[in-house]
Each structure stands twice: as structure tokens, then as C-alpha cells.
A and B are shown apart, each in its own frame.
Chain A
Amino acid sequence: MISVKNLSHIYSNNDKLAINDISFEITKGETFGFLGPSGAGKSTTQGILTGLLKLQKGNVHVAGYNMNKVDNKRFNKIGVSFEQSNVYSKLTAKENLEFYRKLFDVPTREPEELIKLVGLEGKENDRAGSFSKGMKHRLTFARSMINNPELWFLDEPTTGLDPTIAATIKEIINGQKAKGVTTFLTTHNMYIADELCDRVAFIIDGQIKLIDTPKNLKLLYGKKLVDIEFIDNNEVKKETLKLIDDNDKKRMYEIINKYKIQTMHSKEATLEEIFIQVTGRGLI
């Protein structure tokens, strides 16, 4: 569904490469997570894949279209939800969707149904300008499904939403997945990635550090962490050590020999911890 080869991108007002020679493939029906801290290049990649940013260097094919020759008919098959919600504040929720659906040449979903789906029932006839940030975000998200896309781009779909609504969004994404929709999902929320994605890519400073399934990553890195709480000068300290790392191992012996241990247990690494292990950086 998506094939990216040696893609690089640079913004004209920025001398650093925003994307630095990345390559990956996404197969049909797959939910692909693009994970990385702020400024890693996630939105830039989505921008290029959706054609909002001009392809500068590399080979990109999306939904059967070569992105060198842009043909906007492809958007009949594509849905895009944006990081920053962008709806007409002067139009009501329903008018926003009614107008949008008319721009497509393919059968579209009913605005009311979508509004209900994202929990905005009863707000159909309120102007989007009166919506909270989260509500606008949900409307933007709902809008991205209006043309029953085969390929779905989601940039931070749950950011800024309260946990119940985030759970609803997750459910919707899972529902689409069950229908065979291919999803390119950008996030810095590892839990979302873990729960939704078939495969994830770790991106940092415009480069992909690894691509694998969450399950594989956990097998590789999981159960190999030890949390130790110990007392040093009447103070409780806590360290997390990797059992596969020689320095960490030495440190563990040192702690066991030197200090009074309070608790110590091994645990399965979260995707976030794995990210830190792999990239040496946090996700914030």
C-alpha cells in the first residue's frame, strides 16, 4: 500500500534534514505505527505521503500512485486526520461534514453517523468554533473517515483527548482495521502504538532506528529489566537495569553487595522503555 525508498526532506527555512534517508513498506491491511519524540519527523513523513509536502528526494508510492506525479483523484481512497484540527469554525459540525463529503467522487458516510461515532451526538448543529480542542480534534478525525478510505493517515489521533474518548477512538481504529483498512499512524504515545499497531517504526532526528512488531520488540527486550529499590544513606533510591547490558549487570552486583535492598523485580519492558533502550532518548 505504501512503499518508501530513500526518502529525505528538508524545509527551506531550516538547514537540518527533517527526514534523512528513510525506507519502509506498509502492506495492505496493516496498521503501521510511526513513533518518535517531538520533532522527529513524523508529521513531515505523513505530509509527504499524503502529498501535502512536495516529494524532494526518494521514491514514494502510495495506494498505487507514484508520488512524483501527483494526481488528486487518489484522495478518493485516502483519509487524512491532522495533528492540528482544521475544521471551519463558522460551520456547524454537520455542515462541515456535509460540505466535505461533496468533494469526493465515491460513496460517502452519513455525517450524523460519524458525529455519533466520535461521541459528538447532540452537537451536530453547533458551530465548530464553539467546540473545545478535543471536540474539534474528534470532528477532524471523523471527517477523515467520510470517504470510507482504504488508506488512512492518522497524525496523533488521541493526543489531547481524555482517556474515555481516547478509548473510543482506539476502538474505531480497531474497527476500521477489522474492515481491512491500511493505517499509517503517527504518535508519541507508546500505549496506543502497542495496542493498535501491527508494526512500529522508531524514528528519531529524521532517521528510522528500527522497524518491528511490538510483540517481537518485547520478546527481544522484554523481561530483561530489573527494578531495584535500595537504601543509600537513609534514602530510598530506585534504578532500572538491563540484564543484557554488562555495565548494568556489574551495577546490579554492586548494589546488592553495598546496599540494603528493599524491592527487586524483573518486568516486561514497555514499548516506551524499549524506545529509550534503542534510541537512548525519551519520547517527549
Chain B
Amino acid sequence: MKLFSTYIKEMKIAARGFYFYVEIIFAVILLVILLVAVKEESVSKEAEYLYNDIPSKITTYLIEKDINEGKARIAEPTEFKMKPVTFEITNQETSEVTLYEFEEEKTITVETLEQLDPETGKLTRTAYIIDNEEDMIRLSYSEGKIGATVIMSEEGELTYKYYLQGYETDRLVDLLYILHNESGEVLTTEMDNQVVRKLGFEQQLNNRENLLPMFIVFTGSLMGFFIVMAYIFLDKGEGVIKAFAVTPSAVWKYLISKMGVIMTTTIISSLVITIPVMGARINYLLFLVFLIVTTFASSSLGLLVASFFDDMVKAFGIMYGLIIALMIPAFSFYIPSFDPMWMRILPTYPMLQGYKEILLKNGDTGYVLIYSLVFLVSGLVLFALANIKFKKTLTL
């Protein structure tokens, strides 16, 4: 009862204040950016890695034919530096798993073919023709792009064995089929023979969806850290925290009520961004669980930090430092080659990864649940510490 009326009061104050709207407006701005400025991934920018397991004469013939028809042109050969990597491939038809282990770094130079739209002459996709199947698979995996082995059957039909990332939509797969069907006009391509394989467990989202985890982490989970501090400092400034301290109500109720406000705004602002982008494609229950536990942990951290300072200005240094540190994983999230081990201990790393898993069609629910537990437990510890600290210094 006390807790509820404290929460209602906090909501009233928040609604009459400024931060509440800042958060929601910020979310709306991010949503507009996502919807207007970020295009969903289109095939045109796609690259593919091809290994032609067919007589080289036929390859040459096919390429020349495309060039003559204005469907392709030869570009400068491309150099790829491949890092040591280990991954698995699942054959989707047989469920057979093959382990690939590459221990050496390797640099290869490959023939590059730019495929063009015959009408406009615009570049539609870039094909890298690799003369070794292993290298093709390895590149396909580490670049996160489609790979394919072109095989000729005994009947002289061209067949494609695709190496997909597992995130491609059915639409894209159909499109691939059509594209290759066209280019294989002479020798009929048979879709039935196509083996679609999934590379490792690496999956990806389209551009827009891919930005979503970061946006949710910043407007949701991390924002809680800031806003809870702002609310505490407002109260410290007004001295109302002292008035609360001389009532029979427990300090933790006061802290929880603050957190309740943060949760409310966080849930609203995160859903504002997520629903228009993801529609009904994700598990919102899991999403909310993860959102709530991560917000709980980060606002507990905010409470703890706030307990050490009298006002925002004094807390600014440590706040700034923490935010910069917490932002580092965002870089790694978008630059896959930057992924040092130490960074994984930063809580934003599993936050970003967790949201990604939630957004993915076949995301790793186990990962999300385990980290939900981790965030819940660390949130509780931080909250307990903040509570002890506030009991002592509420009144400074």
C-alpha cells in the first residue's frame, strides 16, 4: 500500500517533470530515424562467394555470356585476409554437422565479378569467385554473406549448394533461386537439388533490426541508469528524501518506487521503438523479462552511484566514465572483427547480445534466460548495496 502510493506519487511527479518526456521523445526520434533513414537490407548490396565445381570452360562461358548481355563485368581482384576461425555447419536436409577448424591466418586474392542490372547498368551484387571450396566456406562464414558451390550434375544441370547464415528470409532465398535460374537459362537449374546449409550459429538481422538492440539498450536499460540518478538528485536537491526518512516507511520502498517509474518509462519507450520495427515477430514476454531485469540492474547501479554524491554535477565524472565504458560493446556489436575478451565483462555486451537473440527468428532463448538471471542477481546485489548506503546517507 505504501509502496503503491509512493509509486503513484512518483509517477505524478515524473509526469509533471521533464525526464519522463525526454525519454519518450527520444524513443520516438530513434524510431523515426530507424523507419526513415535506415533501409531494410536490400539484395543489391549483397555479395556472394562462389566456388565453381564445374569445368572451367563452362565457367568462362557463363561469365562471358553474362558480360555480353550486360549482366556482369569483371572488377579488380579482391584480397581477403582470413583469420583463424572455428565453426560448424549444419546440413539442413540431413541435420549432419560438420566442424571446420582453420588455425592459420590466410590471405587470398579472388576474381571479382560485379553483377549488373541489364536495364539500368547498376551494380546489383558482387560475386567473388573462389577456387577452393574450403576458402569459400570460410569467407562466407567470416563475412556473414551467402556462399554457394556451383555443381554440374550428370545430366548437365547446374545445381547450387548454398551456405546461408540462417537469417535469410524466405523471400531472399526465393530471390536467389530466381536470379540463378535466370543466369542458368542454358543449362536448367534445378531447385530440388539445392542443399541449403546453415553456417555455425551466427545469425544476423536486417539493417534496421540490427540497430534495434543498441537503441533499446540506450533508451531502455542504460537510460534507467541516468534517469534514476536524475530523480534521486532532484529529491536530494529538494530535501524530500529527508522527509521520507522520518516516516515509518522503509527506504527500499522509496528506492523501488523510483525504479517503478523508470520501469514504466523504459517499457513505454522501448515498445515505442520495438513494436513498429518488429511487429508480432518476436516473443514480447521474453523481451519484457529481459528489459525489466536489465533496467533493474542498471538503475540499481544508478542508485548506488547516486548514493555517493549530493548532486549531478559532483557525480558527473564517474557517470561520464561509466557511460563511455558501457558504450564500448556497441562498437564490437557492429564491427565484428573488434571483439576482445575483456569487453565481454562489460554488462552492455550481454545486453546487446540478449536483445539480438530475442529479435532473431531462431534466437538463443537459453542465452537470454541465463543472462536475465545474471542481471537479476547482480541487480539485487547492487540494490541491496544502494539500500544500505541510502539508509546511512539518505540524510546527508
Asked if B243 lies at the interface with its beta carbon under 8 angstroms from chain A, I say: yes
Q: Give the residues in chain B near A47, CB-CB below 8 Å.
A: 395
Q: What is the predominant secondary structure among interface residues of chain B facing chain A?
A: helix
B240 touches which of A54, A75, A88 (Cβ 8 Å): A88
**Chain B residues with Cβ under 8 A from A16's Cβ?**
none
Q: From known contacts A52-B395, A54-B392, A102-B1, infer whether A87 and B240 are also in contact, taking CB-CB under 8 Å.
A: yes
Residue among A78, A82, A89, A91 making CB contact with B242, cutoff 8 Å: A82
Task: Provide the B241-259 mask, 1 if CB < 8 A to any CB of A, else 0.
Answer: 0111111111000000000
Chain A neighbourhood of B5, CB < 8 A = 99, 102-103
Inter-chain contacts of B242 with A (CB < 8 A): 52, 82, 86
Whether a CB of chain A sits under 8 angstroms from the CB of B155 is no
Tell me the nearest residue of chain B to A79, going by C-beta. B246
B395→A53 contact, CB < 8 A: yes
For the complex, is B17 an interface residue (Cβ under 8 Å from A)? yes
Q: A50-B246, A78-B246 are in contact. Are A90 and B17 (CB under 8 A)?
A: yes
In this complex, how many residues of chain A approach chain B with their Cβ under 8 Å: the count is 32
A179 at the interface (CB under 8 A from B): no
Per-residue CB proximity of A70-95 to B under 8 Å, as 1/0?
00111110101010111111110001
Does B238 reach chain A (CB closer than 8 Å)?
yes
Q: How far is the CA of A74 from the CA of B245 in the complex (A)?
A: 12
CA–CA, A85 and B249, complex, Å: 20
Residues of B within 8 A of A99 (CB): 5-6, 9
Interchain CB contact under 8 A, A88 and B248: no
In the complex, the chain A residue whose C-beta lies closest to that of B235 is A88
Digitize A102-114: 1 where CB-to-B-CB distance is under 8 Å, 0 elsewhere. 1111000000000
CB-CB under 8 A for A76 and B248, given A88-B240, A102-B5: yes
- Interface contact B238-A75, CB-CB below 8 Å: no
- Which residues of B1-17 have CB atoms within 8 Å of chain A's CB atoms? 1-2, 5-6, 9, 12-13, 16-17
B132 to chain A, nearest CB (A): 69
In Å, the complex CA distance between A74 and B2 comes to: 16
Q: Is the CB of A105 within 8 A of B248?
A: yes
Q: Which residues of A (32-86) have their CB < 8 Å from a CB of B?
A: 47, 50-54, 72-76, 78, 80, 82, 84-86
Which residues on B sit within 8 Å (CB–CB) of A131?
A: none
Complexed CA–CA distance, A47 and B249 (Å): 18
Find out whether the CB atom of B12 lies under 8 angstroms from the CB atom of A103. no
Closest to B392 in A: A54
B239 touches A75 (CB 8 A): no
Among B9, B239, B248, B395, which residue has its beta carbon within 8 angstroms of that of A72? B248
B333-364 CB contacts (< 8 Å) to partner A: none
Contact with A along B306-326 (1 / 0, CB 8 A): 000000000000000000000
Knowing A86-B238, A86-B240, A90-B16, the reply to whether A80 touches B9 (Cβ < 8 A) is no
Q: Is the CB of A103 within 8 A of B2?
A: yes
Please state if A86 and B13 are interface contacts (CB–CB under 8 Å). Answer: no
Complex contact A88–B395 (CB within 8 A)? no
Cross-chain contact B243 with A91 (CB below 8 angstroms): no
Give the CA-CA distance A105 to B2 in the complex, in Å.
Answer: 9
Complex CA gap A13/B238 in Å reads 22
Q: Is A199 an interface residue (CB 8 A)?
A: no
Task: Determine the chain A residues whose CB is within 8 A of the CB of B16 once the complex forms.
Answer: 90, 127
Which of B17, B248, B392, B394 lies in contact with A103, CB distance below 8 A?
Answer: B248
In the complex, chain A residues whose CB is within 8 Å of the CB of B244: 103
Chain B: minimal CB distance from A12 (Å): 10
In this complex, what residue of A is CB-closest to B247?
Answer: A103
Q: Is the CB of B248 within 8 A of A143?
A: no
A88 to B238, Cβ gap below 8 A?
Answer: yes
Beta-carbon contact of A75 and B248 below 8 Å:
yes
Closest beta carbon of chain A to B168's beta carbon, Å: 51
* CB pair B250 A88 closer than 8 Å: no
Which residues from chain B contact A102 at a C-beta distance below 8 Å? 1-2, 5-6
Which residues of A lie under 8 Å from residue B1 when comparing CB positions? 102
Tell whether, in the assembled complex, residue B238 and residue A87 are in contact, meaning their CB atoms are under 8 Å apart. Answer: yes
**How long is the Cα–Cα vector from A104 to B1 in the complex, in angstroms?**
11
Q: What separation, in Å, do the CA atoms of A100 and B245 have in the docked complex?
A: 11
Chain B residues within an 8 Å CB radius of A74: 248
Residues of B within 8 A of A143 (CB): 243
Which residues of A are found within 8 Å of B238, using beta-carbon distances? 86-89
Interface centre among B17, B392, B395, by most chain A C-beta atoms within 10 angstroms, is B395
28 contacts between A and B (CB under 8 A): A51-B245, A51-B246, A52-B394, A72-B247, A72-B250, A73-B248, A74-B248, A75-B247, A80-B246, A82-B239, A84-B239, A86-B242, A87-B243, A88-B9, A88-B238, A90-B13, A90-B16, A91-B13, A99-B5, A99-B9, A100-B243, A102-B1, A102-B5, A103-B6, A103-B248, A104-B247, A104-B248, A140-B243
Closest 7 CB pairs of A and B: A86-B239, A52-B395, A103-B247, A102-B5, A103-B249, A80-B246, A99-B9
Given contacts A75-B246, A90-B17, A100-B247, 7 further A-B contacts (CB under 8 A): A52-B242, A54-B392, A86-B238, A91-B9, A95-B12, A103-B2, A105-B248
